[in-house]
Homo-oligomer: A and B are copies of this chain.
Amino acid sequence: MNIHEVAKRARVSIATVSRTINGVPTVAPQLSRRVWKVVEELGYYPNTQARALVSGRSRIFGLIVSEITNPFFPEIVQEFEDVAVQNNYEVLLTSTVHDSRRMALSVRRMIERRVEGVAVVTFGMEEALLDDLKSRNVPLVFVDVGPSLPRFSNIRIDYLHGIRQAVQHVAALRHRRIAFISGPLTLKSAIARKRAFTQSMQEIGMATEPEYLIEGNHTMEGGITAMKCLLSLPKRPTAVLCSNDMTAVGAMRESYDQGVRVPTDLSVIGFDDIRLAQFVTPPLTTVRMSQTEIARLAFNALLAEVQRKTPLPEGSEYSLTTALVLRESTAMAPSEITPAKGDDRRRETGGTQR
């Protein structure tokens, strides 16, 4: 069932059928009606591949994420798809699962399908893998990490704003021993978050103890390990900021296992505000970096690039800020007396645990 079939039944040329379904205004209303009628009857849906072939526009955007099963990404995927649908685009979704070969394959598949643009929302990656895309002048949009080049857009994240709020929040709650569990420092974004933390501390005149600065790996296990470490310190922190939510979840889990109550004994703050943050117990206070907003910005960046007649000399820059979301994992710092007592008890527990 193709355009010829429709043309035959409507007793018109295939050109007229094409014009009709594409809404070209030069078709006489009468003919248009006749064509539409046949289209409905036959249930004719145009073949997108043929369309793409002749028009040179695939109406597909690629979306590369690290892994869909990481709770950070589903919202991005969902929103990206939503906007894509609204704009009559298709999404070619691939996940790198932190594997270069897989990433290279992704790129290749996208080129073979002739995507019109690619959004790269991964934690880390080898730039070189994108060379194929670059050399073909495929518009690219990065989140936070990308280089500034023509046809490449960038979404810059203002980590400082939210993290500063978080620091000030716990400071206002009279916390003085504030720890930070960073992400893997191989990641640009992790470094930026850590720097935002130290800077915010400095701003309010608080020193960051090196022992309160621990490197995690953005997983729950990493949070657990880091927390074990923090809880074994002679002077335990009373507040812990984490580089992402999964780390915070791990930190809370370890606290729970060691009988340290959140938020009574310990305040915990995450980063990202993934959905899961609302589901854990207690609901996690965290810094929101809106995933839907990222997805929408990324899509629109690509769309703008595609629709632009003459490419800009420079890449476009978009920006997104972050903000603290108060939930229930933070509270007033334990008073000076109680924690001293509590500390002893806890240290014992911690001791036996190790």
Residues in chain A within 8 A of chain B (CB atoms): 43, 45-50, 52-53, 58, 67-69, 71, 73-75, 77-78, 81-82, 85, 90-95, 97, 102, 105, 108-109, 111-114, 132, 135, 220, 246, 249, 252-253, 256, 275-276, 279-282
In the bound complex, residues from chain B placing their C-beta under 8 Å from that of A91 are 93
Q: Give bound CA distance, A276 to B220, whole Å.
A: 11
Q: Give bound CA distance, A135 to B108, whole Å.
A: 34
Residue pair B249, A114 in contact (C-beta under 8 Å): no
Residue pair B85, A49 in contact (C-beta under 8 Å): no
In the bound complex, residues from chain B placing their C-beta under 8 Å from that of A49 are 49-50, 52-53, 58, 113-114
Minimum C-beta distance from A238 to chain B (A): 20
With A68-B77, A68-B78, A78-B67 already in contact, the answer to whether A113 and B90 are too (CB < 8 A) is: yes
Residue pair A279, B281 in contact (C-beta under 8 Å): no
List 4 tightest A-B contacts by C-beta distance, closest first. A49-B49, A48-B112, A68-B78, A68-B74
| Binding site secondary structure of chain A | helix
Residue pair A81, B68 in contact (C-beta under 8 Å): yes
Q: Residue A111 contacts which of B45, B68, B93 (CB distance < 8 angstroms)?
A: B45
Minimum C-beta distance from A148 to chain B (A): 24
In the bound complex, residues from chain B placing their C-beta under 8 Å from that of A71 are 71, 74, 275-276
Could you jot down 7 A-B contacts, CB within 8 Å?
A: A47-B53, A49-B114, A68-B77, A69-B275, A85-B94, A91-B93, A276-B276
| Chain B residue, CB-CB nearest to A75 | B69
Minimum C-beta distance from A173 to chain B (A): 22
In the bound complex, residues from chain B placing their C-beta under 8 Å from that of A78 are 67-69, 95, 97
Residue pair B95, A92 in contact (C-beta under 8 Å): no
Q: Give bound CA distance, A109 to B77, whole Å.
A: 17
Can you name 16 extra interface pairs (CB under 8 A) apart from A47-B53, A69-B74, A280-B280?
Answer: A46-B112, A49-B52, A49-B53, A49-B113, A49-B114, A68-B77, A68-B78, A69-B78, A71-B74, A74-B74, A78-B95, A78-B97, A81-B94, A90-B92, A93-B93, A281-B281
In the bound complex, residues from chain B placing their C-beta under 8 Å from that of A45 are 108, 111-112
In the bound complex, residues from chain B placing their C-beta under 8 Å from that of A108 are 45
With A48-B112, A49-B53, A49-B58 already in contact, the answer to whether A279 and B249 are too (CB < 8 A) is: yes
In the bound complex, residues from chain B placing their C-beta under 8 Å from that of A69 are 74-75, 78, 275
Q: Give bound CA distance, A91 to B106, whole Å.
A: 12
Minimum C-beta distance from A61 to chain B (A): 13
Residue pair B279, A220 in contact (C-beta under 8 Å): yes
Q: Give bound CA distance, A101 to B90, whole Å.
A: 17
Minimum C-beta distance from A111 to chain B (A): 5
With A49-B49, A280-B279 already in contact, the answer to whether A90 and B68 are too (CB < 8 A) is: no
Q: Give bound CA distance, A294 to B251, whole Å.
A: 32
In the bound complex, residues from chain B placing their C-beta under 8 Å from that of A220 are 279
With A53-B53, A78-B67 already in contact, the answer to whether A48 and B114 are too (CB < 8 A) is: yes
Q: Give bound CA distance, A217 to B271, whole Å.
A: 29
In the bound complex, residues from chain B placing their C-beta under 8 Å from that of A58 are 49
Minimum C-beta distance from A331 to chain B (A): 16
